[in-house]
């Protein structure tokens, strides 16, 4: 009997010769990420559980990104508690202002293919893009891992998305995942593994693959995985020969298989206030926009800033429209600056935010006010997510956001490319 990629990663981790979807089992945790919102709660639970030493300080990464720059005095307490615990437990990986956790974990190679990784954030699914089993957990489970290095999971059944062919101009992986969310619904992947495959996926950059895996959780999925290949091995700096087993078997069993022809994809937008409330951009043309946001762990990478700069170069954003750009990490910021991309965006009228979560969750680095409409490259448009509950959030690709910022209303990016 064949196994899926997700089952293979779990078998590799547990050294089992077989696993079955739906089975409960203990995995050996390869790496964990704790961000600044939950760090104090993990530490408190860890002590309450009677643990004294973490199971392996080299497998723990702290990232301060949700409360950076600190907007409220009490937020600083989170960083002080995490700093003290890291010192006490000899945890060396503490990133205080280097970027968003889900960019740093793969970018700094804390996560590599074939690993089992947990994070105190729902978008920990992002690292499935490099072939890991990675998912978000609560701070109680994280405290238990700190003390034992293990966690029980239920092996998720897999929904397979075969996507083949060439994406049309102006259409990106964000349009793929939004279309899939529209097709299966925000609960269509509950406790499932989403596996993205096919020639279109193989043609995507690692950054573009991360957008797909990042938003798997928006369908309720446990993980969003992609078979590691030469691109992955180069990105992660690993020898591919040790990962040749990390692919689904031809006779693997899936709960459902979805087939898409890439040429049928178009620029789409998730309309307020659900990620599966999808519309073709053409049906929304002319909808007034007050703010654009390009950033987050979904689409704040070099290629995202690059395509926005391609559209905005030599142009100015519409009057009374704000465009906030937040690179997903300091290294992306520096690379984009060196390439002249930041200059083009600022010249066009963009405001640069520090590389952190910022406006994405309305915690630091701006908010969307009453009655405002924002079109954003992040992954959630729940009521009030980015500020006022009387604001509206549209989700789209960086190209669609850039086109909207230019016109001050929702626009089709294809005419600018």
Ligand X SMILES: CC(C)[C@H](C(=O)O)[C@@H](O)C(=O)O
Residues belonging to the binding site are 297, 357, 360
Q: How far apart are CA 385 and CA 4, in angstroms?
A: 35
Single out the segment in contact with ligand SF4 by CB under 6 A; choices: 134-142, 199-207, 240-248, 356-364: 356-364
Binding-site residue numbers for [4Fe-4S] cluster are: 297, 357, 360
Task: Based on the shown chain and the rule CB under 6 A, indicate whether residue 100 belongs to the binding site for ligand SF4.
Answer: yes
| Contact pattern from residue 47 through residue 86 relative to ligand SF4, giving x for each residue in contact according to CB under 6 A and a dash for the rest | -------------------x--------------------
Q: Which residue is nearest to ligand X (CB)?
A: 122
Number of residues that bind ligand SF4 (CB under 6 A): 13
Q: How near is the Cβ of 358 to ligand SF4 at its closest, in Å?
A: 8
| Surface-to-core class of residue 48, CB atoms within 10 Å of its CB (0-12 exposed, 13-18 middle, 19+ buried) | exposed
Radius of gyration of the chain (CA): 21
Q: How near is the Cβ of 37 to ligand X at its closest, in Å?
A: 5
Binding partner selected for residue 37 from ligand SF4, ligand X, none, CB under the kind-specific 5 to 8 Å limit: ligand X
Query: Which residues inside 121-140 make contact with ligand SF4, applying CB under 6 A?
Result: 121, 123
Q: How near is the Cβ of 102 to ligand SF4 at its closest, in Å?
A: 6
Query: Which residues inside 252-311 make contact with ligand SF4, applying CB under 6 A?
Result: 296-297
Task: Based on the shown chain and the rule CB under 6 A, indicate whether residue 121 belongs to the binding site for ligand X.
Answer: yes
> Which pair of tokens denotes residue 342?
């930041």
Q: Are strands 278-280 and 268-270 parallel, antiparallel or unpaired?
A: antiparallel
| Surface-to-core class of residue 369, CB atoms within 10 Å of its CB (0-12 exposed, 13-18 middle, 19+ buried) | middle
Q: Residue 15, SS3?
A: coil
> Which pair of tokens denotes residue 214?
């990042």
State which residue, 170 or 300, has the beta carbon closest to ligand X.
300
Q: What's the 3-state SS for 250-319?
A: CCECCCEEEEEEHHHCCCEEECCCCCCCEEEHHHHCCCECCEEEEEHHHHCCHHHHHHHHHHHCCCCCCC
Query: Can you tell me which of 31, 45, 59, 66 binds ligand X, judged by CB under 6 A?
Result: 66
Cis, bond preceding 152 (omega within 30 deg of 0):
no
Q: Which residues are at the interface with ligand X (CB under 6 A)? A: 37, 66, 121-123, 136, 361, 380
Question: Which residues here bind ligand SF4, judged by CB under 6 A?
Answer: 66, 100-102, 121, 123, 296-297, 357, 360-361, 378-379
């Amino acid at each position: 009997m064949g196994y899926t990629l997700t089952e293979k990663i779990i078998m590799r981790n547990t050294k089992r010769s077989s696993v079955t979807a739906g089975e409960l089992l203990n995995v050996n945790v390869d790496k964990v990420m704790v961000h600044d919102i939950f760090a104090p709660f993990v530490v408190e639970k860890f002590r309450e559980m009677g643990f004294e030493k973490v199971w392996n300080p080299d497998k723990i990464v702290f990232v301060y990104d949700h409360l950076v720059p600190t907007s409220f005095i009490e937020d600083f307490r989170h960083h002080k508690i995490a700093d003290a615990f890291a010192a006490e437990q000899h945890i060396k990986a503490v990133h205080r202002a280097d970027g968003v956790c889900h960019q740093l974990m793969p970018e700094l190679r804390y996560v590599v293919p074939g690993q089992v990784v947990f994070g105190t954030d729902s978008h920990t699914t992002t690292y499935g893009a490099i072939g890991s089993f990675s998912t978000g957990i609560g701070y109680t489970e994280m405290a238990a891992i700190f003390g034992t290095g293990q966690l029980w999971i239920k092996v998720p059944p897999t929904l397979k998305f075969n996507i083949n062919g060439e994406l049309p101009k102006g259409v990106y992986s964000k349009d793929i995942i939004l279309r899939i969310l529209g097709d299966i619904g925000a609960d269509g992947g509950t406790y499932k593994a989403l596996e993205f495959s096919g020639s279109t996926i193989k043609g995507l950059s690692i950054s573009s693959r991360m957008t797909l895996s990042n938003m798997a959780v928006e369908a309720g999925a446990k993980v969003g995985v992609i078979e590691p290949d030469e691109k992955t091995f180069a990105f992660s700096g690993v020898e591919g020969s040790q990962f040749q087993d990390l692919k689904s078997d031809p006779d693997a069993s899936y709960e459902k298989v979805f087939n898409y022809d890439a040429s049928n994809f178009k620029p789409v937008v998730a309309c307020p206030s659900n990620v599966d409330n999808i519309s073709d951009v053409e049906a929304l043309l002319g909808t007034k926009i007050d703010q654009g946001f390009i950033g987050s762990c979904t689409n704040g990478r070099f290629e995202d800033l690059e395509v926005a700069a391609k559209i905005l170069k030599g142009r100015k954003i519409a009057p009374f429209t704000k465009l906030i750009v937040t690179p997903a990490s300091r290294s992306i910021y520096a690379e984009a600056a060196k390439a002249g991309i930041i200059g083009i965006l600022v010249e066009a009228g963009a405001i640069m935010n520090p590389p952190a979560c910022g406006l994405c969750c309305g915690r630091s680095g701006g908010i969307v006010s009453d009655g405002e409409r924002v079109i954003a490259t992040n992954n959630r448009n729940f009521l009030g997510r980015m500020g006022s509950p009387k604001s509206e959030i549209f989700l789209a690709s960086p190209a669609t956001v850039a086109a909207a910022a230019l016109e001050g209303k929702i626009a089709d990016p294809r005419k600018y490319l």
